[in-house]
Amino acid sequence: QYVIGVDEAGRGPLAGPVVAAAAVVPIDIVGIADSKTLTRESVREELYEKIVSSDNVRWAVAVIDSARIDEVNILQATLQGMRLAASAVAGISEVPDNAFYALLDGNRLPKKMAMRVETMVKGDSREYSIAAASILAKVTRDRLMHGYDKLYPEYNLAQHKGYPTAAHMDAVRKYGASPIHRRTFAPLK
């Protein structure tokens, strides 16, 4: 069986998408760890490039935008992204879905998974493939937030990535919510 590690990045911010990633990593890539423990962006970027350029790695990301988050809530958006990313990884390979086993970080299962699935609390620090997925999700989301920073420079999104820092909240008070802000999140209601 192939183990697909699945994780997400961006559940807590007030702006931007939630990004889920899934990965089958059958080789040892030195340095892979939970993205939250990799504090330097340059280290995460370097590991991201190692993961995506490795021949034997199968990976995918799913980006769920703020409008969808507001529509279904952050939990359902996250689970939807995890299901999409895991299904995409299974679809890359020429083996049936039942040859895959998904390990998801956290304690909630998405509905209608096409493969066996299990949750693992703190899986990003316990399971290699989930740690790889955490790096893919975090770097993808950070890159998107850098792009949004160019569209909405007044919010300084490249600095805080949409999290509710004092500077971010000051910008929201001054300029109002941008199109990528999550309007159902408490500070923006």
Instruction: Quick: pLDDT tens for 97-111.
Output: 678 999 999 999 999
Segments making up each domain of the chain, as ranges: 2-146
Binding residues for a divalent metal cation: 7-8, 105
pLDDT on residue 30: 80
Condensed to tens digits (0 to 9), the pLDDT of residues 136-168 reads: 999 999 999 999 999 999 999 999 999 999 999
pLDDT on residue 109: 94
Which of 38, 36, 6 lies closest to 22, judged by CA?
6
Q: What is the pTM of this model?
A: 0.94
Binding residues: 7-8, 105
Using 50, 70 and 90 to split pLDDT, how confident is the model at 34?
low
**How many Cβ atoms from other residues are within 10 Å of residue 128's Cβ?**
17
pLDDT on residue 182: 98
* SS3 label, residue 6: strand
DSSP 61-126: EEEE-HHHHHHH-HHHHHHHHHHHHHHHHHHHSSS-GGGEEEEEESS-PPSS-SSEEEEETTGGGT
Distance of alpha carbon 131 from alpha carbon 145, whole angstroms: 21
Rounded mean pLDDT of 4-9? 97
CATH 3.30.420.10 for domain 2-146: yes
User: Terminal CA-to-CA distance of the chain, rounded, Å?
Assistant: 45
